[in-house]
């Protein structure tokens, strides 16, 4: 397993959000985390990505406890993985150029400015962003922020992607463009874990669909089950839309 969660809990203040969650995510497979709004999907994703610390339990990346990694191991984990947050998580006091430049400076310290610029320009073109990188996030629409967040996640060519509602706030054409880019990553045998309410994207991309209810793993489905059983697909779609 690339990522494995064992008996993982997460609480905020007095509220338990994730309860005894155990799941392994296979190399080269795509897993969708689904469920009603407020069920804990995004929190599970952030735990898997090592963004938040579990209240109890363990999260492993390639058999190493994320929160017991040394600096070298942690940098390697951060370089190999990337996350697109639901709210994009762009630094308000930085330009888009500075926001995108930082990961490359951190993980590729010997890369020259010309090469960094080429990489940035290539990716913003791929995602369909057409404005200047001198702008700050507040000057962008929510959809444009999501495009920049996705482009930033791709900068270091990660092999493990964590995507939280990455097509939200986008028009159909832009959403399809990002779905196509994710499919390209699948062709490279990347490991992808994502949260989405878009049932079209789930059917198109997910090898496994994990239903989360009230912070706990409820059911696991395969793409084949969803495609072959119309009643199951309808039931699942109804649960996602709640």
**Which pLDDT tens digits describe the chain residue by residue (242 residues)?**
899 999 999 998 889 999 999 999 999 999 999 988 888 999 999 999 999 999 999 999 999 999 999 999 999 999 999 999 999 999 999 999 999 999 999 999 999 999 999 999 999 999 999 999 999 999 999 999 999 999 999 999 999 999 999 998 899 999 999 999 999 999 999 999 999 988 888 888 999 999 999 899 988 888 888 888 887 777 777 766 55
The pLDDT, as a whole number, for residue 13 is: 85
Residues 174, 148 contacting (CB under 8 angstroms): no
The pLDDT, as a whole number, for residue 219 is: 85
The pLDDT, as a whole number, for residue 176 is: 93
The pLDDT, as a whole number, for residue 23 is: 94
Structure tokens at 122: 């290539």
The pLDDT, as a whole number, for residue 242 is: 54
The domain ranges of the chain are 3-89+159-241
Q: Can you tell me the distance from the alpha carbon of 174 to that of 51, in angstroms, rounded to the nearest whole number?
A: 27
Residues 104, 82 contacting (CB under 8 angstroms): no
Q: Can you tell me the distance from the alpha carbon of 18 to that of 39, in angstroms, rounded to the nearest whole number?
A: 9
13: buried, middle or exposed (CB in 10 Å: 19+, 13-18, 0-12)?
exposed
92: buried, middle or exposed (CB in 10 Å: 19+, 13-18, 0-12)?
exposed
> Strand runs (DSSP E) across 185-234, as ranges?
191-195, 208-213, 216-222
CA distances from 48 to 10, 17, 143, 184, 212 (A): 12, 14, 25, 22, 14
| 86: Cβ contacts below 8 Å, ≥ 6 apart | 42, 164, 165, 168, 195
Tell which CATH classification among 2.170.150.20, 3.40.50.300, 1.10.443.10, 3.30.565.10 matches the domain 3-89+159-241: 3.40.50.300
CA angle 222/86/103 to nearest 5° reads 105
């Amino acid at each position: 397993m690339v990522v494995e969660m064992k008996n993982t809990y997460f609480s905020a203040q007095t509220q338990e959000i994730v309860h005894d969650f155990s799941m392994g995510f296979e190399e080269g497979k795509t897993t969708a985390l689904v469920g009603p709004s407020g069920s804990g999907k995004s929190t599970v994703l952030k735990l898997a990505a090592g963004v938040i610390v579990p209240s109890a339990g363990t999260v492993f990346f390639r058999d190493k406890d994320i929160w017991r990694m040394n600096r070298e191991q942690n940098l390697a984990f951060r370089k190999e993985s990337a996350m697109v947050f639901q709210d994009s998580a762009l630094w308000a006091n930085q330009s888009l150029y500075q926001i995108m430049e930082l990961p490359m400076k951190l993980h590729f310290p010997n890369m020259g400015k010309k090469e960094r610029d080429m990489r940035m320009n290539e990716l913003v073109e791929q995602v369909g962003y057409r404005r200047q990188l001198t702008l700050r996030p507040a000057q962008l629409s929510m959809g444009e922020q999501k495009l920049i967040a996705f482009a930033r996640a791709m900068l270091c060519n990660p092999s493990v992607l964590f995507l939280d509602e990455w097509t939200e706030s986008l028009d159909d054409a832009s959403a399809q463009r990002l779905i196509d880019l994710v499919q390209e990553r699948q062709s490279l045998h990347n490991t992808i874990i994502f949260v989405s309410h878009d049932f079209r994207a789930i059917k198109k991309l997910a090898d496994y669909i994990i239903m989360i209810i009230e912070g706990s793993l409820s059911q696991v489905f395969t793409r084949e089950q969803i495609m072959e059983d119309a009643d199951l697909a309808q039931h699942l779609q109804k649960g996602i839309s709640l």
